[in-house]
Amino acid sequence: TKKSNRSPAIIIHNKLTMASFADAARFLLLTAVGIAGNPSTADAASASPVSGWRSDLDWAALTSKLSSSASLIDTSLDDYTDECMPEFSEPSPTTHALIDQPSGMCLPHLLLGWEMSWPRPSENHHMDQPYVQAYFDLFGLDPTADFESWMSDPTNPSLNLPSKVLFPTVASDVVAAVNFAKDNGLEISVKNSGHSYQGASSKKNTLLLNMNRYTHYAPTGITDCDASILGSTVTEDLSNQPCLLSLAKNKSSLIRVGGGENFDKVYRAVIAANEEEGYKYHLVGGYAGTVSPMGWSWQGGLGGSTGGRLYGFGVDQVVQLEMVLPNGVHVKFGPTDWEDASAEGFTVPRTKVVSGVCRSNPDEHDEENWVWQSCPEDFDIDFNDMWFAVRGGGGGTWGVVTSVYLQLHDYLPFKSYLFNNPPFRTEKCTAIFPQFAEFVAHYMSAPSLLNVTKERSHACGSPDPRAGIYCHGEEDVMQAWTRFLDLNNSTDPANVACLFSSDKLASHYNLPAPPGYAEFMISFSKNDLFPGKVLDGSPPSKIGAPVAGVLVPQSWLDEGEENRKTLQENGTPYYYAFGGAAASGSDQANSLSQAHRNAAFMAYFSDDYFWGNLFPKMFDISDKTKFPPVFGSNHAGFLTAGPLKEDWTKPCPREWTFEERREKCISFQEAIYGTERLARLEAIKKAVDPQFIFNCVNCVGNNLPEASKSEDDEPSPAEAEPLLGNSSDETSGASFVSSF
Ligand SMILES: Cc1cc2nc3c(=O)[nH]c(=O)nc-3n(C[C@H](O)[C@H](O)[C@H](O)COP(=O)(O)OP(=O)(O)OC[C@H]3O[C@@H](n4cnc5c(N)ncnc54)[C@H](O)[C@@H]3O)c2cc1C
């Protein structure tokens, strides 16, 4: 049902991730665009699945295969206007209110409903028109720009919303949808929260699979592994594989999470288990409750607030994957052979072999009756490739993840530290924020300068010093802060008090000290509509962060204190989720770029300054055939691009048309993965999805010539691939690089 009488949320914890760019853009748009529709009363379930977009297709054939709880609906711009837009005009908008809207179309960044977040009334355009430039430069928005009529025009060619949405609830629904898409030459988009800053979850002329109603496994999904099985062989159906791998990684428990469960749901499942059994579990996850472990993990997954520097990135938490692949086959797979890699400095075993099984009764809805068997002989997808590609190569492009086993860690006591936050905010503290930012930089990436050990430093992370420092286990943040002020001759107790712990905050509000990060996010956000839910982090905004953060190499920082000073003078607050286990926790069989592993932190710079000054110093660009990976994947916005192909010290001009930018600039993908890793990912993409059924915006393969279909392309069912197997001549990506 659609919400009404929306009550404002009261948020005490009010510091947000992401640069001020997005906040300021949001402010401008809120005041200048001001579009709001009235909630519609249409019941989504009553919409007919056989009308509307591609009514030439036999949609009834699809619905006949769906489970009784799945639904396939027609959607339109009206739904977006009625259900999603009003939230952006609320005094305290929240993504929690958007994700359960009936059409399943809402996006936390409203303008992502149009290509490049730019609702221009033409197919291709550029950013040089005065109002657009101003819009992105934050100097203001030209009141003559006719945003309102562009955004209400259902024929606007830049509109990027799907016209059909399927809510699968079991894996067989996903199998049916993928086979239907394959047989009819359709593309599929996959969505959870819609948080992707690149807008990868939503696309016009696709069948959108909104995963929010998919089976929830987390509430009963925690398994304590029996240590006595260590050394056993992996069973043929892979049922003991998640525990065997976890135990090999010195972890004794894990959680199964469904392909549509967000962190709010997963964190709360872990809290419930902790409350029942005594605190013993810890999950590495994202900052916001509304972010899902799907997009988050597949893009890397920075655990700045949840112990990522102690336990690794999101990709490092995965022990088994269950997916429906682009060929329509329901599979599960994970490492079945590994070896110790501690001599090379890794804290987890190196994956040697990945094995998988296929479900032989894909039409069966009831999981109790699923049968997992060896894959048929003509199934030519390499599970080593899939394990590599999915974990780091982004969501939405390798198929649909239906569930995943994530490792859990032993519980450690939690404390967060907030600088100059309400209710203890003072002007004096505002004035010393630059010193605090310098302190955090040292604590995280040069702790010895503060007499802090690396181990203590790794206990803490921070998505943004303005959002706080989050620590798990032994740390000495308060002592180090006092020491830092001492060294800088500013020992005034009022300065020391600018930093305070979550315990102090709790006692101020007569609340118990939060035992974990998620509890902290629940107890310090009061929300009349969504009591008990984990805060959505940054609230929805009309436009999300457009650019990407640079992964600043630790080795470059270590060259000298002057490099750190250069950054302080020219960068924005940094994202600290790197180093420690984030550097050493790789199984060496994932596609997360090496830049993530080598980084000290992620920072934002102006285009000109970065490419012209810092890039040649920070990264090895001696080989002009190999562009290095530069940007953080999770936060890469829709306008992300590398420099000019012909001169890597020059940014890609925003005044160029999108077409020109695509042609003459290093692509979004190459700037994330680097030339070499991207080549392997593209080879795998062509092998597993030769029809480009999964072709999300800025995802691997999306910019390949083979991926572009003309609007009129309507391949006939006769051209479809067989159910199992891959008729392409393209060799599997495994042959491209034979080992990890
Ligand atoms: C408020 C906020 C807080 C954030 N905090 C963090 C943080 O702490 N750390 C961090 O690293 N990043 C963070 N991010 C960035 C986040 O990682 C990305 O936005 C990510 O894309 C979100 O994934 P999602 O599944 O929630 O979103 P979606 O936009 O729904 O999906 C993202 C991608 O995953 C695909 N996908 C979704 N579900 C599936 C599935 N079941 N199978 C296959 N593909 C799927 C989609 O097609 C899309 O390509 C944050 C973003 C926001 C807006």
Judge whether 209 and 176 are in contact, CB under 8 Å. Answer: no
Q: SS3 sequence, 76-88?
A: CHHHHHHHHHHHH
Q: What is the pLDDT of residue 139?
A: 32
d(CA 652, CA 607): 8
Whether 196 lines ligand 1, by a CB cut-off of 6 Å, is yes
C-beta neighbour count of 152 within 10 angstroms: 15
pLDDT above 60 (res 5): no
Q: What is the pLDDT of residues 240-288, one digit of tens each?
A: 999 999 999 999 999 999 999 999 999 999 999 999 999 999 999 999 9
Lowest mean pLDDT among 127-141, 525-539, 561-575, 599-613: 127-141
Instruction: Determine the pLDDT at residue 524.
Output: 79
The strand pairing partners of 552, in sequence order, are 601
- Give the span between the Cα atoms of 22 and 36, in whole angstroms: 20
pLDDT, position 234? 97
Q: Is 190 in the pocket of ligand 1 (CB under 6 A)?
A: yes
- Residue in this structure with the two tokens 């984990």, named with its chain if needed: 534
- Residue 726 binned pLDDT confidence (cut-offs 50, 70, 90): very low
Distance of alpha carbon 193 from alpha carbon 534, whole angstroms: 14
pLDDT above 90: residue 433: yes
Pull the structure tokens for residue 429: 């503290």
Distance from Cα 195 to the centre of ligand 1, integer Å: 5
Q: What is the mean pLDDT of the chain?
A: 87
Question: What is the whole-number distance in angstroms between the Cα of residue 107 and the centre of ligand 1?
Answer: 12
pLDDT band per the 50, 70, 90 thresholds, residue 15: very low
Quick one: which atom of ligand 1 is closest to the CA of 109? 53
Question: 537: Cβ–Cβ under 8 A, 6 or more apart, which residues?
Answer: 16, 17, 286, 287, 288, 289, 290, 291
C-alpha pair distances (Å), 630 with each of 389, 596, 620: 18, 9, 11
**Atom in ligand 1 nearest the alpha carbon of residue 95:** 1
Residue 719 clears pLDDT 50, i.e. is over it: no
pLDDT in tens, 236-246: 999 999 999 99
More confident residue, 127 or 639: 639
Pairing of strands 318-324, 330-339: antiparallel
pLDDT of residue 51: 61
Check pLDDT > 60 for residue 692. Answer: yes
Question: Ligand 1 in contact with 516 (CB < 6 A)?
Answer: no
Separation between Cα atoms, residue 361 and residue 379, nearest integer Å: 15
Measure 191 CA to ligand 1 centroid, in angstroms.
Answer: 9
Domain chopping of the chain, boundaries: 10-213, 414-514
Q: Quick one: the chain helix, strand, coil %, rounded to 5? A: 35, 15, 50
Could you tell me if 521 and 13 are in contact, meaning their C-beta atoms sit under 8 angstroms apart?
yes
Which candidate, 657, 703, 700, places its Cα nearest to that of 682?
A: 700
304 Cβ closer than 6 Å to some ligand 1 atom = yes
Whether 636 has a pLDDT exceeding 50, the answer reads yes
Q: CA–CA separation, 3 vs 529, rounded Å?
A: 10
Residue 132: the pLDDT is 55
Between 10-24, 410-424, 598-612, 644-658, the lowest mean confidence (pLDDT) is in 10-24
Q: Is pLDDT of 67 > 60? A: yes
Q: How confident is the model at residue 125 (pLDDT cuts 50, 70, 90)?
A: low
pLDDT level of residue 735 (50, 70, 90 thresholds)? very low
pLDDT for 120 equals: 77
**Bridge partners, residue 404, by sequence:** 257, 321
In this prediction, residue 145 carries a pLDDT of 57
> Ligand 1, atom 33: nearest CA belongs to which residue?
295
Rounded distance from Cα 103 to ligand 1 centre (Å)? 19
Q: In angstroms, what is the span from residue 108 Cα to ligand 1's centroid? A: 11
Specify the higher pLDDT residue, 552 or 14.
552
Measured in angstroms, how far is the CA atom of residue 591 from the centroid of ligand 1?
A: 17
3-state SS of 195-246 is CCCCCCCCCCCEEEEEHHHCCCCHHHCEEECCHHHCCCCCCCCCCCHHHHHH
Q: How far apart are CA 582 and CA 575, in angstroms?
A: 13
Q: Of 100-114, 248-262, 534-548, where does mean pLDDT reach its minimum? A: 534-548
The answer to whether the beta carbons of residues 106 and 84 sit under 8 Å apart is: yes
Q: How far apart are CA 259 and CA 402, in angstroms?
A: 4
Pocket test for ligand 1, best of 17, 197, 291 (most atoms within 8 A of CB): 291
pLDDT tens track for 488-519: 988 899 999 999 999 999 999 999 999 999 99
**Maximal CA-CA distance, the chain:** 78
CA-based R_g, the chain, Å: 25
Nearest CA to ligand 1 atom 24: 295
401 C-beta closer than 6 A to ligand 1:
yes
pLDDT above 80 (res 618): yes
Q: What is the pLDDT of residue 143?
A: 47
Residue 702 pLDDT: 97
Q: Residues 151-194: pLDDT tens digits?
A: 899 999 999 999 999 999 999 999 999 999 999 999 999 999 99
Helix residue ranges, H only, 312-412:
383-390
Give the pLDDT confidence of 367-399 residue by residue, as tens digits.
999 999 999 999 999 999 999 999 999 999 999
259 lines ligand 1 (CB under 6 A): yes
Q: What is the pLDDT of residues 443-478, one digit of tens each?
A: 999 999 999 999 999 999 999 998 899 999 999 999
Angle at 474 between CA 219 and CA 254, to 5 degrees: 25
